Structure 1
Amino acid sequence: MSLLRDYAAAIAQPTLPLHLQDGSGARFDEVVGPDGALRPAWKGMAAIAVELTPAELERIDIEITTLLADDGVTYGNPQAGAQPWRLDPMPLVVDAATWARLEVGLAQRAELLNAILADIYGEQRLLSEGIVPAAVVFGHAGFTRPVARTTGFDPHPLVLSSTDLGRDAAGEWHVLSDRVQAPSGLGYAMANRRVLSRVLPELYEQAGLHRMEPYFSAVRSALLQAAPVGVEDPRVVVMSPGTLSETAYDQAFIANILGFPLVQGEDLVVQDGWVWMKPAGFPQVAPHERVDVILRRVDAEWCDPLELRAGSKLGVAGLTEAVRRGRVRLVNGLGAGVLENPGLMPYMPAICERLLGEQLRLPSVPTRWCGDQDQRAEVLETLATEPDAIIIRRIDGSAADLAALASDTLSRLILAEPHRYVGQERLPLSQVPSWGDAGRASGRANPSQVALRGFTVRDGSIYRPLVGGLATLVNDRKEAPSTKDVWVLKGTPADPDQGIVEVTALPLTRAVPVLSPRAVEDLFWSGRYAERAEDLVRLVITASTHAEQLDYGPTTGGGAALRALIGSLQRLCGTRWLDSDLELRSLLLDADRAGSAAHSLERLRDTLEGVRDQMSGDTWRAFGSTDRAMRAMRASRRPQIAESASRMLGGILSLQGVTANMMRDDGWHAIEAGRHLERAMQVCTLLAATATQSLGVGTDRAVLGGVLMAAESSVTHRRRFRGSVRVADVLELLVADPDNPRSIAFCLARLRDHLSQLAGSTGSTRPERLLEHLEEDVAAADIAALAVSVEGRRPQLEDFLAGTHSHLYRLGDAIVHLHFAAGPQPQPMLLAEITGLRV
């Protein structure tokens, strides 16, 4: 059964249940023409496309889900947290002729938006001549007064923009909205392309479409060109609101692919009117740490707690003044949000003729601004007679904010503050075949409405649209939207990708990478969480192995060894279950249980999200392995705990391979310092729970055998001590052996090496002094005395381990305080506390 052929047949016969029946009239279908034949964009791929069966599409859909998870592609939901990104396996395909017309319209739209922005914050001709009502502009939350009418305002303020588009029933494109404040989605579009090209290689190769890679080179060039006049070697950063942002993945992807640091507001500081990256030695700064261009993903009102929003921790105090002085360029500028204003749409044709001297090529969806009496009357009449035909929006809010309100309530809101509302006709968006949940259930493609987000960059003196984009299936879901890759076919095979023959050449200089204290701290904790997860999973594997051995019959000391190992786990994570199987399962899977493997992996993922631009893509494949192992364990009624834990361990260990290939900078040294500090602490906890009691020769032998297995030192012990398990030998191996990577002495030596490489270390800092003292204590430890048992206990060993663990804890705090604390946290300024301020 051919999925595409069945879809085409059903679309050509409106009586079939597959056809959209929502009362909205006919829709333009992106795949099938009115005669039931495939549209030109699909005809060249028909031989392969029509052979796709439901079974094959289901397999492809599973591969897409797996690849997206392995790449760590997520979309943030404010209520539910990070959600898996959703990609439909069937692309949106656009032929060259159709795209050529759309491309001209997108370029004009970007040029027009730039001209509007320059005028609103400059001469304000549109307002003074009455082309645009003043209330449309000044009543919008995106109008940023501190940068209006200033001599330093940029004449070309718009560098990047995106536009949401939809087709009407006749197939004509209309602008649904403009995104210029912090336009997102370009990273997601590239992620979609990478995945779909891997799961549909034959279709991808035959299509002859434009590759996206050259466009990112143009974006990088545009950001470097955006630097203030006179800057020869500009430093560009991507400023993110943090890992809780809905589009955190998109921000990190852009930073990574462009090669610019991903920073947060706390990583930057304004001094002497310039913006600087905070180094580890802040408040001292160096010339190469000055920031010249900020690609911001933080909304303007949050960018400066001094002038824009008091108390904001997402921005940089003094940033607005640095912008006014022309010492830093924001992309896009602080006032760009005013363009995301549907109140401007009714006036766009007149604006285009006034500012560009041209007719508007891409019409907006029909919109009426309620601040105008005649337009308001039309909106209220439509709302009363045909409420389903109109969408009410605030000029600075989304349609979803008002979607649940009744018509009479909306009318009252409009009459109370008419200038704050618009009414937009409900456009019958075009439809595309989609798979999704309904497709899996029915075994066929179903039509879904689709919107297209186009992207534009200022490349030199022109605006260049991305040949492609991000397509979104329109639905009422609250989780991550389902998207499609956008394939724009070339007119001829010889056409250059993206129409770019050569990117604007810029002087090539070697950049000096700088990591902020916040980024280095995230990496330090990632090393700790990775080690914590690894050591706990090893302990669970060892305990589970002992439990399985007991199931096959009693073993000498086996029960005591199991209790000791579980006791060690419970020292780390507390006690939740008395049943050993349930307890071990909980220790692996319960993310809300502090110290569990799932909890540590969740924290590890969070810390690495904050430095995603520093990490290889293989990092997220490691998480994909652990996630699949945990899902399989949850789904199994009688899981093999040791087997599932081993698969989790494989994913965790692969992270070590990822970090092994990192540059030997502060970030790598911080990871390794965190890893060895945590390993030393874990060895102390393991030994304190298992070796401080003497339970008899046979039982001690079983317990210590488990300790060696959990500490990955069984093979070394057998080769060195010929199989005889004695307390003194185990302590020698795990406490004092300088060559055993699992010993406390080895971890302290490596910690010293990495700590000495961090910026701020001088040889005499508090962390280095604490570490030196700790190394001396471990070196002076009398292993034979520690192994002595007195009435069933080893008191000297207890005191030694407790003291060492406490010392390590203080050492960790000292490292954080010296190397990662970049001054005091910002505090809100109260007027009463400021003396000499004239109001």
Structure 2
Amino acid sequence: MTVLREYAEALGLRAATDQPDGRPDGRPDGRPDSRPYDEVVGPDGTLRPAWKPMAETALSITPATLSRIGHDVERFLADDGVTYLRPGARPQPWRLDPVPLVIDPTQWRTLEVGLVQRAELLNAMLVDLYGPQRLLADGIVPAAVVFGHRGFHRAVARPSNHDPRPLVLAATDLGRGPDGEWRVLADRTQAPSGIGYAMENRRVVSRVLPELHRDAGLHRMEPYFAALRSALLESAPGDQADPRVVVLSPGTHSETAYDQAFLASTLGFPLVQGADLTVRNGEVLMRGNGDRLERVDVILRRVDATWSDPLELRGDSRLGVAGLIEAVRRGTVRVVNGLGAGVLENPGLVPYLPAASEALLGEPLRLGSIATWWCGDPVQRAEVEQRLAGQDLVVRTLEGAIVEGTPEELLARIAADPYRFVGQEQITLSRAPTWAEGRGAVGRPLTLRTFSLRYGSAYRPLVGGLASVRADDSGLPPCSKDVWVLKESPEAADQGLADVLPMTHTRSVTVLVPRALEDMFWSGRYAERAEDLVRLVLATQALAEAPDRPAGPTRPQTSADVGVEVMRGALGRLVGHVHAEIDAELRSLLLDADRPGSAAQSLVALRRAFSGVRDQLSPDVWRIFTSADRAAQELWDNPHSLQIAESGAEMLHGILAMQGIVASMIRDEGYHSIRMGRFLERAMQLCQLLRATTTVRRGLEVDRAVLDAVLTSAESAVTHRRRYRGYVRTGGVLDLLIMDRDNPRSLAFCLHELRLHLDQLPGSTGSSRPERLLDDLIETVDRTEVAGLVAIGGVGRPNLEAFLDQVHAQLVRLAEAISDLHFTTGPAPRPLNALPAVHR
């Protein structure tokens, strides 16, 4: 039995049970059928028309095949680093069901007309509400609905702020009722998200279901992104030859941080945060490295309007740009969508949309919403009160939040402030098969998010969208689906876009904001920190598992035992000690992300730093973390000591892959920042390693065992054997790891590489403090002799100890100086309500 056949048969059995008279399309009493509309199987048990062109392939998919495909989907999403962050939680993997939502082209054509009209209506309403306000003056829309909504911002409601096209990109959430008709559940106009997730879903599903995808004949999504890029460039005020567009993000803690970064990367625009921008003389400027300031012409906003300008809106915001509204008033910058567009997400407007359409467009509303009643109107309020006793109504605030409580509690809240609430009908959403391991295809409710772009002089919906499977009583978590809209003919243009509007072909000057450079600098440091610690763990593990170490608690202590304790001392110097037992300690260093300095914590920090500059990186970067995650899971699952070395080696391979990815980057400031961070951290880690292992004499055999482990952890064992024919002495090891400029792992090499990359940053003048500190360091190393470092004083090497402490302290000062000069743009933003009061 194949998946869809089994699913169709199960639906047929339920239909027969629910319909005693066997009628598939109605109830025996003649009332409309309230059973959910199924997106795949019709009332007669056959596939819907949209699925019939793919019937042969679709009906051949077995549970075993779909199970394998489901695992492939999870792996591909993990490799791409696709996450979703719910408020108050850690980033969660994005969930994608492999069975797509397929829509017939005839149905889509009707839906498309309604979506275009709705976008035109919302744009016209936005122009009116922030301009002449005819809808309010003529009583078509009650003023209390608009002014009572927190998304209406009076600061931008003035004739001088007139923008005939404030709505560039809109999203509409749809649900299909039992009658098969789509209804609007909500409009998303403030900062509509999800188009990046939709594109990622298509990429993954096309890879895991290649035959089905090929047979379907779908509209490719890429032309729509090209149109979006063109539309944003065309939105620039004035006649800019090469307008600068940025994507303004709340940061990596945003729920849809991946979506924002994907959009910026795909469109080729910088991903910035509020602190990366400033307003001077009524213009929005992007901070570059050093004193550079680049004018910004268009801002694709992903920060809610309330938080966008602490001067005129929310004073405690650290996400926005002080003075942004003034720049908008002067017409020097275009914000997409316009500040204040969030008022259109008000469910209290829904009952008045048909009349608004007649008034502003002169035509009836084609795409209806779910039934909604505003409680500020006595007649509508009475309808809500009457329906509260049933189960088909939900009460919301004007901001859309669901109000919980018993019918009596809800009635009391509505009576106290009726203008703040609406009642909305709850429809029975359509179902679609969703794959569940061990349970087969389970029918679950879904919604569809569509996107409409103002391209040229008209709105164009994305042919497709993002389907979301809702939580229900199945116990399965929510997930998403790819949306397939079939072409009416193979030669039809993808997305209906035969040709995208021309754009400038001049090469833009890339500018990285200091925050991005700092993230890249720290990504280099975290990567090196993780690599060096994993190498040290592996070297210690190899020494602990040496074949010449006899077993048993009463055995005599060997040189290898002492060597293990020395290497543990080196680990302790870097991260402290937690476990007395060596296996538990090494496992902790690889797995415990809450342990300061551990490899696991460094990888978490590396992922966070990369997330802040995702738009600048190759997608291959995220496979580093997938590899490390799988290695960590294997170590969690396997208690044997051997797995420490196996998982550590897998983690190391993933980290090393980053070097190859970075090597392919363009040689811009970001590349030099990563390399600078890497060599600075390598030099600091090397000083700590040598300080813990080579400054004390412990006997010939112990020193040899320790030095072998040091060379292994510093990836210099092979070079040392070639240079010194296997004769391991402290002087030779120090010469190789400190003085040898040809050894990429030596201190001298790291310092000279640091100088090369530091020189490439714009703030470096040849006499800046970081350059002076680095020149002093290089001079200190150059004038030092190995013979003096290995000189014995008692049981130790005091010269070596003093040298390493001096160099490490100077490296710490160098790191601070680099940050102060190249990454700091001034004091951190402070909330206006936190400033001290001024007394006259």
TM-score, normalized by the shorter chain, greater than 0.5: yes
Q: Deviations over 1:774-831 (max 9, x none)?
A: 1111111121121122322111111111111111011100100010000111223469
2:310 aligned to which of 305, 309, 315: 305
2:514 aligned to which of 512, 517, 535: 517
- Map 1:292-441; keep pairs closer than 5 Å: 292-383=297-388, 385-386=389-390, 388-399=391-402, 402-403=403-404, 405-435=405-435, 439-441=436-438
Deviation at 1:617, TM superposition (A): 0.3
- Map 1:215-254; keep pairs closer than 5 Å: 215-254=224-263
Find the counterpart in structure 1 of residue 446 from structure 2.
Answer: 450
Deviation at 1:479, TM superposition (A): 11
Tell me the TM-score normalized by structure 1.
Answer: 0.96
DSSP-derived class of the 2:290 partner: coil
Number of equivalent positions: 821
- Matched-pair contact (CA < 8 Å) for 2:33–2:178: no
Deviation at 1:18, TM superposition (A): 12
Find the counterpart in structure 2 of residue 818 from structure 1.
Answer: 821
2:541 aligned to which of 540, 544, 548: 544
- Map 1:763-802; keep pairs closer than 5 Å: 763-802=766-805
- Matched-pair contact (CA < 8 Å) for 2:743–2:749: yes
Tell me how far apart the structure 1 counterparts of residues 122 and 812 of structure 2 sit (CA, whole Å): 56
Tell me how far apart the structure 2 counterparts of residues 18 and 788 of structure 1 sit (CA, whole Å): 92
- Matched-pair contact (CA < 8 Å) for 2:445–2:472: no
Tell me how far apart the structure 1 counterparts of residues 645 and 527 of structure 2 sit (CA, whole Å): 19
- Map 1:104-183; keep pairs closer than 5 Å: 104-183=113-192
Q: Deviations over 1:202-249 (max 9, x none)?
A: 100011111100000010011001111222221000000000000000
- Matched-pair contact (CA < 8 Å) for 1:83–1:479: no
- Matched-pair contact (CA < 8 Å) for 1:84–1:480: no
Tell me how far apart the structure 2 counterparts of residues 637 and 168 of structure 1 sit (CA, whole Å): 53
Q: Deviations over 1:666-691 (max 9, x none)?
A: 11100000000000000001101111
Find the counterpart in structure 1 of residue 14 from structure 2.
Answer: 14
Tell me how far apart the structure 1 counterparts of residues 820 and 836 of structure 2 sit (CA, whole Å): 28
Q: 1:660 to 1:371 in 2, by over 3 A?
A: same
Q: 1:721 to 1:85 in 2, by over 3 A?
A: same
Tell me how far apart the structure 1 counterparts of residues 746 and 477 of structure 2 sit (CA, whole Å): 46
Tell me how far apart the structure 2 counterparts of residues 184 and 533 of structure 1 sit (CA, whole Å): 34
Tell me how far apart the structure 1 counterparts of residues 547 and 819 of structure 2 sit (CA, whole Å): 44
- Matched-pair contact (CA < 8 Å) for 2:318–2:831: no
Q: Deviations over 1:439-473 (max 9, x none)?
A: 2132x201000100000100010000000000000
2:504 matched to 1:504?
no
Tell me how far apart the structure 1 counterparts of residues 15 and 213 of structure 2 sit (CA, whole Å): 33
**Gap runs ≥5 in structure 1:** none
Q: Give the counterpart letter for 1:610 in structure 2.
A: G
Tell me how far apart the structure 2 counterparts of residues 17 and 482 of structure 1 sit (CA, whole Å): 29
Find the counterpart in structure 2 of residue 474 from structure 1.
Answer: 470
Is the deviation greater in 145-154 or in 743-752? 145-154
Find the counterpart in structure 2 of residue 189 from structure 1.
Answer: 198
Q: Deviations over 1:747-774 (max 9, x none)?
A: 0000011001111000111111111111
2:809 matched to 1:806?
yes
Q: 1:741 to 1:462 in 2, by over 3 A?
A: same
- Matched-pair contact (CA < 8 Å) for 1:10–1:18: no
Tell me how far apart the structure 2 counterparts of residues 243 and 331 of structure 1 sit (CA, whole Å): 20
DSSP-derived class of the 2:299 partner: strand
Q: Give the counterpart letter for 2:143 in structure 1.
A: A
2:487 matched to 1:490?
yes
Deviation at 1:397, TM superposition (A): 3.2
Find the counterpart in structure 1 of residue 605 from structure 2.
Answer: 603
- Matched-pair contact (CA < 8 Å) for 1:85–1:481: no
Tell me how far apart the structure 2 counterparts of residues 24 and 291 of structure 1 sit (CA, whole Å): 55
- Matched-pair contact (CA < 8 Å) for 2:315–2:833: no
1:290 aligned to which of 263, 287, 295: 295
Tell me how far apart the structure 1 counterparts of residues 375 and 75 of structure 2 sit (CA, whole Å): 48
Tell me how far apart the structure 1 counterparts of residues 838 and 692 of structure 2 sit (CA, whole Å): 58
Deviation at 1:565, TM superposition (A): 1.3
- State the identity %: 58
Tell me how far apart the structure 2 counterparts of residues 476 and 241 of structure 1 sit (CA, whole Å): 31
Is the deviation greater in 462-471 or in 145-154? 145-154
RMSD between aligned residues: 1.8
Tell me how far apart the structure 2 counterparts of residues 406 and 530 of structure 1 sit (CA, whole Å): 54
- Matched-pair contact (CA < 8 Å) for 1:77–1:479: no
Tell me how far apart the structure 2 counterparts of residues 547 and 756 of structure 1 sit (CA, whole Å): 43
Deviation at 1:95, TM superposition (A): 1.0
2:455 matched to 1:459?
yes
1:711 aligned to which of 711, 714, 736: 714
Is the deviation greater in 158-167 or in 230-239? 230-239
Tell me how far apart the structure 2 counterparts of residues 818 and 18 of structure 1 sit (CA, whole Å): 73
DSSP-derived class of the 1:89 partner: strand
Q: Give the counterpart letter for 1:463 in structure 2.
A: Y
Tell me how far apart the structure 2 counterparts of residues 778 and 153 of structure 1 sit (CA, whole Å): 65
- Matched-pair contact (CA < 8 Å) for 2:307–2:314: yes
Q: 1:832 to 1:93 in 2, by over 3 A?
A: closer
- Matched-pair contact (CA < 8 Å) for 2:549–2:558: no
- Matched-pair contact (CA < 8 Å) for 2:297–2:332: yes
DSSP-derived class of the 2:289 partner: coil
Tell me the TM-score normalized by structure 2.
Answer: 0.96
1:620 aligned to which of 614, 619, 622: 622
Tell me how far apart the structure 2 counterparts of residues 357 and 810 of structure 1 sit (CA, whole Å): 69
2:211 matched to 1:206?
no
Q: 1:17 to 1:200 in 2, by over 3 A?
A: farther
- Matched-pair contact (CA < 8 Å) for 1:572–1:595: yes
Deviation at 1:553, TM superposition (A): 3.2
Tell me how far apart the structure 2 counterparts of residues 411 and 551 of structure 1 sit (CA, whole Å): 80
Tell me how far apart the structure 2 counterparts of residues 247 and 153 of structure 1 sit (CA, whole Å): 30
Tell me how far apart the structure 2 counterparts of residues 397 and 578 of structure 1 sit (CA, whole Å): 55
Find the counterpart in structure 1 of residue 593 from structure 2.
Answer: 591
Tell me how far apart the structure 1 counterparts of residues 59 and 209 of structure 2 sit (CA, whole Å): 13
DSSP-derived class of the 1:151 partner: helix
- Matched-pair contact (CA < 8 Å) for 2:191–2:337: yes
Tell me how far apart the structure 1 counterparts of residues 33 and 146 of structure 2 sit (CA, whole Å): 33
- Matched-pair contact (CA < 8 Å) for 2:375–2:414: yes
Q: Give the counterpart letter for 2:417 in structure 1.
A: E
Find the counterpart in structure 2 of residue 273 from structure 1.
Answer: 282
2:655 matched to 1:658?
no
Q: Deviations over 1:78-111 (max 9, x none)?
A: 1222000000010000011011001111111111
2:525 matched to 1:528?
yes
Tell me how far apart the structure 1 counterparts of residues 162 and 477 of structure 2 sit (CA, whole Å): 37
DSSP-derived class of the 2:170 partner: strand
Q: 1:476 to 1:40 in 2, by over 3 A?
A: closer
Q: 1:726 to 1:480 in 2, by over 3 A?
A: farther
- Map 1:682-761; keep pairs closer than 5 Å: 682-761=685-764
DSSP-derived class of the 1:260 partner: coil
Tell me how far apart the structure 2 counterparts of residues 427 and 74 of structure 1 sit (CA, whole Å): 30
Tell me how far apart the structure 2 counterparts of residues 165 and 573 of structure 1 sit (CA, whole Å): 52
- Matched-pair contact (CA < 8 Å) for 1:165–1:174: yes
Is the deviation greater in 539-548 or in 607-616? 539-548
DSSP-derived class of the 1:486 partner: strand
Tell me how far apart the structure 2 counterparts of residues 476 and 414 of structure 1 sit (CA, whole Å): 28
Deviation at 1:832, TM superposition (A): 8.7
